[in-house]
Amino acid sequence: MKTSKTEYFFDCHCHTMTLGHVNITSFLENLLKNTDWEVLLGIVGSSAKSSDKRISAHIKNIFNLLTLMQNDLADIFNIMEDDLKGNFAGESLADDEGLHMNGRTYRKLVITPLLMDFKPLPGAESSTYYPQPRKELRTVINEYSFAIKQYYRERPQGLLYILPFLGINPAAYSMKELTSIVEDSFNFSTTKWLKHSVWSSSLITRMEGHISPKKMFAGIKLYPPMGFNPWPEDKEERKKVEFLYSYAQAASIPITTHCNDGGFITVDYKLANRNTNPAAWEKVLERYPDLHLNFAHTGVRTTLQLPILFGKKEKSWTEKIFDLMDQYEHVYTDFSYNGISPKFYQRFSQQLSELETAGRTRYRDRILFGTDFMINLLGIRSYQHYYSFYQEAALDTELKHLFASVNPLSFLNIR
């Protein structure tokens, strides 16, 4: 088995949230909204016996997720590591030497927990009689800093390196608030622009466990289903996103944007889809062509798309992402959540073969491994199971290594 002291395995898309971080009412509303209750209840598409099994499995998945979210953040990091080590009945994929995947031993697993900014947009109405409790983003940031330091303190030889992404929606803040939060979150200032080595070396430092409540983030997470607009028409809102993109591009700070038609939706569904569509980023990339931009979930759409009977067939979101890859040097995509089923990898392998046949090989350097843990527990039993499916995936072994170990280095600007 190949072993390297410098090779890391990256989970470029995961979440570590406690029940105290989320708006629990909206969270449960989305769980119920995204459930196909007609099928689950056997009204259509299945027998009573099979529907009973599906109801049981779905409820177990929800309970599994909520059970995990009852833990403290540091405990969740511990659980992720212990799961991969086979402590919860799954196959052991890791030990004190590292993570064993596809004939290689990776010294460390680098996870990039994507914080979610649950702050409601100005004027948003509550669905409940009593006002929703609000945990400020800075409070969550401090909790993450404490939990990460606690993990490193309790497990100095642990499997994980933890590089969180700052989730933020510029529309929920004034320009002054946005600037303050961003500049406090990254080891980069306007006086250091274009000095990329300052940024990348600080990432290595934090991967070794030296972090502070400020300057601890490795990237930015943006989430259109909760109201983020990549290129708003309003001039004041446009200034906010332009500040964010300018800042990120100057320091090669990576951005991950949600890109499927599911998720935690708090705005109108059509509006969410319009702002999630990769086409919504075309004007952004024209203006900021060097952005390190990752379209999450490979743009896979989960709802039934009706065929177009007349006119030109519209490209899928996945096809649009690959088109943007051909145009821009730093466009990436991750296949997080999709790997809950081995069948996904069969379809994905076919898509990649078609790109190869067409001579479009840029994808090899632009695809990232991601799990979407803990949200993926709605469709899979455990963190360990997701890795087991990847190990057995119908993909070339060298591609698996590129997606999980090589490509993330360039996306995260780690040299």
Q: Please state the rounded mean pLDDT for residues 348-377.
A: 95
Residue 184 contacts residue 215 (beta carbons within 8 Å) = yes
Name, in order, each residue with C-beta under 8 angstroms of 46's C-beta and a sequence gap of 6 or more: 39, 54
Residue 31 reports pLDDT greater than 90: no
Q: How confident is the model at residue 105 (pLDDT cuts 50, 70, 90)?
A: very high
Question: Mean of the pLDDT values across residues 118-126?
Answer: 78
pLDDT tens digits along 159-180: 999 999 999 999 999 999 999 9
Question: Token pair of 348, please?
Answer: 């994905």
Q: What is the pLDDT of residues 307-323, one digit of tens each?
A: 554 556 789 999 999 99
pLDDT tens digits along 76-94: 999 999 999 999 988 899 9
* Integer Cα distance of 293 and 380 in angstroms: 27
Residues 368-390: pLDDT tens digits? 999 999 999 999 999 999 999 99
pLDDT above 60: residue 190: no
Amino acid 83: pLDDT: 98
pLDDT of residue 368: 98
- Using a 10 angstrom Cβ sphere, with 0-12 exposed, 13-18 middle and 19 or more buried, the burial of residue 196 is middle
pLDDT at 203: 58
pLDDT band at 191 (very low <50, low <70, confident <90, very high): very low
For residue 143, pLDDT beyond 80: yes
DSSP labels for 302-336? -SPPPPP-SSPPPPPHHHHHHHHHHH-TTEEEE-T
Query: Are 355 and 322 contacting, i.e. CB atoms less than 8 angstroms apart?
Result: yes
What pLDDT does 42 receive?
A: 47
- Whole-number pLDDT of residue 35: 57
> How confident is the model at residue 121, as a pLDDT?
80
Kindly state the average pLDDT of the residues 52-64: 77
- Cβ-Cβ contacts under 8 Å for 150 (sequence gap 6 or more): 74
DSSP 8-state class, residue 299: G
The confidence band for 266, taking pLDDT boundaries of 50, 70 and 90, is confident
CATH of the domain at 267: 3.20.20.140
CA distance 335 to 20: 28
Q: Which of 237, 119, 229 is nearest to 172 (CA)?
A: 119
Q: Please, what's the b/e burial string for 237-265 (b: 16 or more CB within 10 A of its CB; e: otherwise)?
A: eeebbeebbebbbbbbbbbbbbbbbbbbb
Displacement of CA 297 from its chain's centroid (Å)? 8
> pTM for the full model?
0.90
Task: Retrieve residue 352's tokens.
Answer: 């990649």
Residue 104: what pLDDT? Answer: 96
What is the percentage of the chain residues whose pLDDT exceeds 90? 68
Mean of the per-residue pLDDT values of the chain? 86
Domain region containing 279:
2-411
pLDDT at 196 over 80: no
Contacts for 260 with CB less than 8 Å, ≥ 6 apart:
276, 296, 297, 299, 300, 301, 302, 317, 337
pLDDT for res 40: 45
Residue 297 has pLDDT above 60, yes or no: yes
Number of domains in the chain: 1
pLDDT category, 50, cuts 50, 70, 90? low
255-257, strands of its sheet edge to edge: 165-167, 219-222, 255-257, 293-295, 331-334, 367-368
What is the per-residue pLDDT across 203-239, written as a single tens digit (0 to 9) for each?
Answer: 555 555 555 556 889 999 999 999 999 999 999 999 9
